[in-house]
Amino acid sequence: MGRMVLRRLLGLPPILLAVSLPVFAAVRVLPGDPARLMAGPEATQDAVDAMRVRMGFDRPFLVQYGRCLGGVLRGDFGTSIRSKRPVTYEVGIRFPYTLGLALLAYALALLVGVLAGVAAAVTRGRWPDHLVMLATVLAASMANFWLALMGMSLFAVQLRWLPLLGAGSWSHYVMPAVTLGLLPAALVARMTRSAMLEAIGQDYVRTARAKGLRPRVVMLRHALRNALIPVVVTVGLNFGGLLGGAVVTESVFNWPGIGRLLVDSVRFRDYPVIQCITLLAVTAVVLANLGADVAAAAIDPRIRTE
């Protein structure tokens, strides 16, 4: 397993290098002039040209890319065009909020999804199974922003059980985490149900039952353990979708994370911040996939042998 982890970590720099060029090119085709934004709406054309030279926007594309890549290799992502502060500072003060929200949403999705999927598989064809499947269809059909607005209207405005916007105490995490984790929970529930039904029909489960083991032991120790392998892999592959949903969720709830920072940076054409957040998101997705592979290997010894 250690060789697999090392091999995947060594493959991370080439992936980031391959992603950096299209990202660098994409942010520069956005409409608007960052030099004009930095100089101000009332600045003269000479002032705008001077700002463009100062920021290096007048240089050829490959020269700008080389300077940017050299800074990234040194851990320097530049200075934010909007706030005039280092990009690492801007991202660093917001990253813990997004990380905490994402981990809480994923823990909620795994807990609720696995329990619902197991319940549906055990009661296949009966009303609990139909109820879980109906709930997963409804959860997968609702948009994040609509669910967020409905939750704010009910729990924050009418019932006043939860705070409306921002981040502070643990209660601020409830609505954003549920909004962000509902769709992954529905996907995990459907995947768990399908994997459990397939595992229940295998020979080793029938053998365990023939030995006289209790049904709970058969389900949890034999069927569920093998059914979790595709679930864990699916969770890792869908981590990018969770980050995409975080952008919408953080914008609706005014959450001070990197998702909201990305939206603001696109609005103000803040190239360095956009590039840093994109590379950070790619790194998070690769590490999440690696974590899923490690978890699958921990569950199934055959994967470690391979």
Task: Tell the burial category of 45 from Cβ atoms under 10 Å away from its Cβ (0-12, 13-18, 19+).
Answer: exposed
What b/e readout covers 162-173, taking b as 16+ CB neighbours within 10 angstroms? bbeeebeeeebb
Task: Please state the pTM of the whole predicted model.
Answer: 0.76
The radius of gyration of the chain's CA atoms, rounded to the nearest angstrom, is: 24
The band of 164, judged by pLDDT with boundaries at 50, 70 and 90, is: confident
Residue 276's nearest CA partner among 62, 88, 32, 30 is: 88
The band of 169, judged by pLDDT with boundaries at 50, 70 and 90, is: confident
What pLDDT does residue 218 have? 72
What pLDDT does residue 225 have? 73
Whether residue 305 is predicted with pLDDT greater than 60 in this model: the reply is no
Cβ–Cβ < 8 Å for 97, 48 = no
Whether residue 44 is predicted with pLDDT greater than 80 in this model: the reply is no
The band of 146, judged by pLDDT with boundaries at 50, 70 and 90, is: confident
Domain spanning 95-256: which CATH class is it, in words? Answer: mainly alpha
> C-alpha 282: how far from its chain's center?
10
Higher pLDDT, 93 or 226: 93
The pLDDT tens digits of the residues spanning 208-247 come to 777 777 777 777 676 777 777 777 777 777 776 677 677 7
The pLDDT tens digits of the residues spanning 67-92 come to 777 777 777 777 787 777 888 888 88
